[in-house]
Copies of this chain bind each other. A is one copy, B any other.
Amino acid sequence: MSATHKAEAKPPMRDALVAAAFRLFLERGYEQTTVDDIVALAGVGRRSFFRYFPSKEDVVFPDHERCLADMTAFLAASGKEHEPVRRVCDAARLVLLMYAENPSFSVQRYRLTKQVPGLRAYELSVVWRYERALAEYLRGRFTGRPDGNLHADVIAAAVVAAHNNALRSWLRSDGEGDASATVDHALGYVQSAFGASPTAPAPTARPAFPALPAPPADELPQDVVVVVSRRGAPLWRVVQEIETTLGRD
């Protein structure tokens, strides 16, 4: 717990260790850098390193523990008023914020991780923990629904994949461009696929199109776009859908 607390406070020594580690990783390569090299450059002892980081891998991803804790707290603070799919999308955005806080560091780490198989494996295990956090929340919200656990697992995986697709494309562009917009767009796809059905009330007597008289085809202009949208959908989602329909980017 004390390590977590210190991680949240971001003391200078912790930052100095991360900075020293990355300078050496980029100069010599990750495998060629030892913890001894890092502490020598940072001017601290080995015990200080291991007070903050359980292993050399952890110094590469110094903020994931904090972010996982933030995500868990965010999800735990959810109420019944939160639409669950939107809620896990919002939770995923916390990961993006962590990357976007320091674009140049995130881009450096992305390049490093691509080169070192051990770091890719570490990253997979971190991604898996985020995915489980989202899935556990959804499982709770879907309790009692048929296939609730299945839906929770699939939606959590889809959210993580969409988030990571957007995050990686932002990282590949060297952290240029609007990361939030890219991630919003990607998560919009997941919400459009899953946002309604797992949370929609079971259909009762309600007709499918309660107040939609289908316009006679011959009264419509030849070149027409029809967008059907939930009333509660955020406007950006509707615009996105129109853009996609019109084939604009």
Residues of chain A whose beta carbon lies under 8 Å from any beta carbon of chain B: 120-121, 124-125, 128, 146-147, 149-151, 153-154, 156-158, 160-162, 164-166, 185-186, 189-190, 193-194, 196-197, 200, 203, 206-212, 215, 217-233, 235, 238-239, 242-249
Chain B, residue nearest A162 (CB):
B154
In Å, the complex CA distance between A164 and B246 comes to 33
**Could you write out 9 A-B pairs with CB less than 8 Å apart?**
A150-B165, A209-B224, A211-B225, A211-B226, A212-B227, A224-B228, A224-B229, A235-B239, A239-B242
Chain B, residue nearest A248 (CB):
B235
Nearest-Cβ distance from residue A96 to partner chain B, whole angstroms: 15
Residues of B close to A154: CB separation below 8 A: 158, 161-162, 165, 186, 189-190, 193
Copies in the complex: 2
Residues of B close to A193: CB separation below 8 A: 154, 193-194, 197
In Å, the complex CA distance between A147 and B185 comes to 10
Answer whether A150 and B162 are a contact pair too, CB < 8 Å, given A223-B232, A226-B226: yes
Asked if residues B157 and A160 are in contact (CB atoms below 8 Å), the reply is yes
Answer whether A230 and B235 are a contact pair too, CB < 8 Å, given A124-B128, A154-B165, A244-B146: no
